[in-house]
Amino acid sequence: MRTFPDAKAVARTLRPDEPVILNRPHAARRAAEFFVGKFPGKVLYAVKANPAPDLIEVLWDAGVTHYDVASIAEVRLVRAALPDAVLCFMHPIKTPSAIREAYHQHGVKTFSLDTIEELEKIVEACRDPETGEPAHDLRLCVRLRVSSEYSELSLASKFGCDLTDAPALLQQVRQHCDWLGVCFHVGSQAMTPFAFVQALDRTRAAIAEASVVIDMIDVGGGFPSIYPGMEPPPLEDYFAIIHHHFYALPIAYNAELWCEPGRALCAEYSSMIVKVEKRRGNELFINDGAYGALYDAAHVAWRFPVAALEDDLRDAAEDFAFYGPTCDDADYMAGPFSLPGDIQAGDYIEIGMLGAYGAAMKTGFNGFGNAEKVVVTDEPMMSCFTGERDRPASDNVVNLR
Ligand SMILES: *Cc1c(COP(=O)(O)O)cnc(C)c1O
């Protein structure tokens, strides 16, 4: 990958007709070092947020040894990039062949589940194919359903065992493994640490009712990044509250605490340069959109930071909306995106904070899938990790919406 000082240098040098992804390995490394250094437990990277092998290697070098994988393709991908990584298959619905290959060929021991059927599937698929003996080294993790009310993107309705069913499932699972965990996901971009308090309260209720020994609590992902209009409290607040409530749980004295950030580890890793193809009033037709790295901008009206890359724009900032390049009406991004009023066709724009669920989600729909990737060495457009977000303790209030 070629290296440039910043987006302006890329635009000036390449004058690209296709979008260009700008990667910032130093930003991903900084995020990983922050989590590994400050989270009071083990940090797994949720690979689905951005499965780029370059990124995975940066995270590994920064001390992330465990990876949350959601499909057999992710198992193969991370195993190929990192032969020594610990892979944890945390999608609660897996095919028997995916479980079999993960366990027998890639050394995956940790699986999550939220039903008895999935437990039976895992136990069957991991038997010794010769002797039929059940596996003795499974590490199983029961996924609880928790509220998503404090997060920007809900993950509450699909997965997770209800609190009423959790005690019986925990007791069943305990009979098939020597290491039993409980996991949950509070939803992505949780804007207050209180989201984790509710989830840990629910976890406490389930464990108390089941009266089984719990070896691990996995608080999942949901740790926020920073976007225009979405400035979360410092991540240290999240870590402190989780630590505090973890110690109050009725669990084994040596129980482990895990987290599985996706977004927070990689949001700052990538931005993208797009070209304005046409201007119609305050609507800009750009060359990437809903089927590219801007899925969230179109479908959940996520506001990403933007910056014009031409030096000759003089007018004050105005609000713009974007259209992507495909013929689909859904390829529209309301923003608003604030750019100089005299921006015009042919100009380039940098769109920031696309490392999580952005750069990784480009499709080839309508033939618009290409994007060259380069490395840039400047700072991301926004950051949770540059120290600017440190606030005095007196200001560390939890905002309840
Ligand atoms: C998506 C996902 C994550 C990562 O979530 P973020 O909000 O990106 O931190 C973690 N764990 C599981 C099981 C997931 O499905």
pLDDT the model gives residue 397: 47
pLDDT averaged over every residue in the chain:
93
- Is 263 close to ligand 1, i.e. is its CB under 6 Å away? yes
Query: When comparing pLDDT for 81 and 1, which is higher?
Result: 81
What is the percent of the chain with per-residue pLDDT over 70, rounded to a whole number? 96
pLDDT at 396 over 70: no
Average pLDDT over residues 377-384: 97
Average pLDDT over residues 113-126: 98
pLDDT the model gives residue 400: 42
- Is 185 close to ligand 1, i.e. is its CB under 6 Å away? yes
How long, in residues, is the chain?
401
pLDDT at 401 over 60: no
Average pLDDT over residues 138-143: 98
pLDDT the model gives residue 356: 96
293, 272 in Cβ contact below 8 A?
A: yes
pLDDT the model gives residue 390: 55
Which ligand 1 atom minimizes the distance to the CA of 356?
A: 8
322 closest CA partner among 355, 293, 359: 293
pLDDT at 399 over 50: no
Average pLDDT over residues 350-357: 97
How far, in Å, from the CA of 69 to the mean position of ligand 1?
10
13 closest CA partner among 381, 359, 379, 376: 376
How does residue 252 score in pLDDT terms, banded at 50, 70 and 90? confident
- Is 68 close to ligand 1, i.e. is its CB under 6 Å away? yes
How does residue 361 score in pLDDT terms, banded at 50, 70 and 90? confident
pLDDT the model gives residue 386: 86
Query: When comparing pLDDT for 294 and 359, which is higher?
Result: 294
- As a whole number of angstroms, the distance between CA 146 and CA 250 comes to 19
- Is 193 close to ligand 1, i.e. is its CB under 6 Å away? no
pLDDT at 325 over 70: yes
- Is 46 close to ligand 1, i.e. is its CB under 6 Å away? yes
How far, in Å, from the CA of 220 to the mean position of ligand 1?
6
Which ligand 1 atom minimizes the distance to the CA of 190?
A: 7
Strands 306-308 and 348-351, by their bridges, are: antiparallel
Average pLDDT over residues 280-308: 95
Parse the chain into domains and list their residue ranges. Answer: 3-22+270-376, 25-266
pLDDT at 79 over 90: yes
Average pLDDT over residues 272-297: 96
- In Å, what is the CA distance from 274 to each residue of 39, 94, 199? 36, 37, 40
- Is 380 close to ligand 1, i.e. is its CB under 6 Å away? no
Counting ligand 1 atoms within 8 A of each CB, the residue from 45, 48, 71 with the most, and so the one to mutate, is 48
pLDDT the model gives residue 365: 76
How far, in Å, from the CA of 145 to the mean position of ligand 1?
14
Residue 68: phi and psi, rounded to 5, are -90, 110
Over residues 5-37, the pLDDT tens digits come to 999 999 999 999 999 999 999 999 999 999 999
pLDDT at 333 over 60: yes
Bridge partners of residue 271, in order along the sequence: 22
pLDDT the model gives residue 193: 96
pLDDT at 398 over 60: no
pLDDT the model gives residue 217: 98
pLDDT the model gives residue 395: 47
Q: What is the DSSP string of 11-65?
A: HHHH--SS-EEEE-HHHHHHHHHHHHHHSSSEEEEEGGG---HHHHHHHHHTT--
pLDDT the model gives residue 149: 81
How far, in Å, from the CA of 391 to the mean position of ligand 1?
27
CATH class of 3-22+270-376: mainly beta
- Is 126 close to ligand 1, i.e. is its CB under 6 Å away? no
How far, in Å, from the CA of 278 to the mean position of ligand 1?
37
- As a whole number of angstroms, the distance between CA 365 and CA 65 comes to 35
Instruction: Tell me the whole-structure pTM to 2 decimals.
Output: 0.94
- As a whole number of angstroms, the distance between CA 58 and CA 298 comes to 29
Catalytic residues: 327
Over residues 175-193, the pLDDT tens digits come to 999 999 999 999 999 999 9
Average pLDDT over residues 160-171: 95
Task: Among 43-57, 103-117, 338-352, 363-377, name the one with the lowest average pLDDT.
Answer: 363-377
- In Å, what is the CA distance from 73 to each residue of 65, 70, 91, 220, 376? 19, 8, 13, 21, 29
How far, in Å, from the CA of 24 to the mean position of ligand 1?
21
- Is 90 close to ligand 1, i.e. is its CB under 6 Å away? yes
- In Å, what is the CA distance from 117 to each residue of 4, 239, 354? 52, 34, 37
354 closest CA partner among 12, 11, 22, 7: 22
Query: When comparing pLDDT for 152 and 62, which is higher?
Result: 62
pLDDT at 158 over 80: no
Bridge partners of residue 44, in order along the sequence: 66
Q: What number of helices (H) and strands (E) belong to the chain?
A: 11, 19
Query: When comparing pLDDT for 31 and 154, which is higher?
Result: 31
Counting ligand 1 atoms within 8 A of each CB, the residue from 153, 185, 189, 191 with the most, and so the one to mutate, is 185
From 3.90.1660.10, 3.30.1360.30, 3.40.50.1470, 3.20.20.10, which CATH number describes the 25-266 domain? Answer: 3.20.20.10
- In Å, what is the CA distance from 235 to each residue of 109, 120, 353? 30, 38, 17
